[in-house]
């Protein structure tokens, strides 16, 4: 579709994908709504673009990717969001620690990796607290008993993350992280490993397609571990 107010991104991607595979593309843009509707009726399809290779209709952009053997996630679960998040927060921690101490790999970078991750995960939840709280209610034991906890959780996680990054107000950040981390870990363990339920994790927000399990358990164990470390650190100094 190529219209004054809309240029189809999937069409551009499909054209680029074919050209990147060495094909010469004969492009037929649809320039009006009437032309688009007529095209759909003619070929009995619901969406555009549609791609042919020779006389064989392959389908849309996603179908093209599958045709060329590329991985296509059609609404299933995926760990990609959390892998990307943890990779970025790890690199951020290394960069920040290098600026602060000129030693990227240090105890400080490990602390900041956890606190940066808490802040990033809180942000993803805070984008849509309503959706997050709805998904959270599927498995969190406290939220099921007291619904407002589902709304409070992302703010509490973000607060603890910011305070731990700044390394201030330990009297507040440590109990908050211990409290929400412990309840979260117990809730996830019960839902996944005791009840054997297959759920999606609310850890990266209410629109998450990350499976509930190891990742969410790790998030909570990180918070518990960070709180315990901050309690023990003065004793080890």
Q: Check whether residue 58 and residue 91 sit in a common domain.
A: no
Structural domain span for residue 189:
80-236
Mean pLDDT of 136-156: 94
83-137 pLDDT tens trace: 899 999 999 999 999 999 988 899 999 999 999 999 999 999 999 999 999 989 9
What band does 224 get if pLDDT is binned at 50, 70 and 90? Answer: very high
Residue 50, sorted as left (phi over 0), alpha (psi -120 to 50) or beta, turns out to be beta
User: pLDDT tens across 54-86, in order?
Assistant: 999 999 999 999 999 887 665 556 778 888 999
- Please give the pLDDT value at position 14: 93
DSSP 116-179: HHHHHHHHHHHTTHHHHHHHHTTT-HHHHH-THHHHHHHHHHHHHHHHHHHT--HHHHHHHHHH
Residue ending a domain, among 26, 43, 67, is: 67
The rounded percent of the chain whose pLDDT value lies above 90 is 73
| Residue 212, pLDDT score | 77
Which residue, 221, 218, 194, 223, is CA-closest to 79?
218
Question: Does residue 228 register a pLDDT over 90?
Answer: yes
Tell me the two tokens of residue 34. Answer: 């009437």
In a domain, 75, yes or no: no
22 three-state secondary structure: coil
DSSP character string of 108-130:
HHHHHHHHHHHHHHHHHHHTTHH
- Do 99 and 137 reside in the same domain of the chain? yes
Q: Is the pLDDT of residue 37 over 60?
A: yes
Residue 166 lies in a domain: yes
pTM across the whole model = 0.80
Q: Residue 213 — very low, low, confident or very high, per pLDDT cuts 50/70/90? A: confident
Q: How far is residue 36 from each of residues 12, 31, 53, 163, 228, measured CA to CA in Å? A: 16, 8, 20, 54, 61
CATH of the domain at 15: 3.40.30.10
Out of 26, 44, 67, a domain closes at: 67
Contacts 24+ apart (CB under 8 A), 194-197: 197/139
The answer to whether residue 73 is domain-embedded is no
For residues 23 and 105, state if they share a domain.
no
The number of domains in the chain is 2
């Amino acid at each position: 579709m190529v219209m004054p107010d809309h240029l189809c991104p999937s069409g551009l991607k499909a054209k680029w994908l074919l050209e990147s595979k060495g094909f010469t593309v004969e492009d037929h843009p649809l320039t009006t709504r009437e032309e688009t509707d007529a095209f759909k009726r003619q070929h009995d399809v619901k969406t555009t673009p549609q791609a042919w290779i020779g006389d064989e209709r392959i389908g849309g952009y996603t179908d093209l990717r599958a045709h060329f053997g590329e991985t296509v996630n059609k609404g299933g679960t995926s760990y990609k969001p959390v892998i990307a998040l943890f990779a970025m927060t790890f690199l951020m921690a290394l960069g920040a620690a290098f600026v602060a101490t000129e030693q990227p790999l240090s105890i400080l970078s490990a602390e900041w990796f956890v606190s940066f991750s808490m802040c990033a995960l809180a942000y993803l939840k805070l984008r849509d607290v309503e959706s997050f709280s709805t998904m959270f209610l599927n498995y969190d034991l406290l939220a099921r008993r007291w619904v407002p906890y589902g709304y409070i959780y992302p703010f509490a996680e973000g607060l603890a993350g910011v305070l731990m990054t700044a390394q201030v107000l330990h009297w507040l950040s440590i109990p908050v992280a211990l409290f929400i981390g412990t309840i979260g870990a117990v809730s996830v363990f019960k839902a996944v490993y005791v009840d054997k339920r297959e759920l999606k994790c609310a850890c990266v927000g209410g629109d998450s397609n990350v499976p509930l399990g190891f990742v969410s358990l790790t998030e909570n164990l990180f918070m518990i571990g960070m709180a315990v470390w901050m309690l023990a650190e003065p004793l080890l100094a």
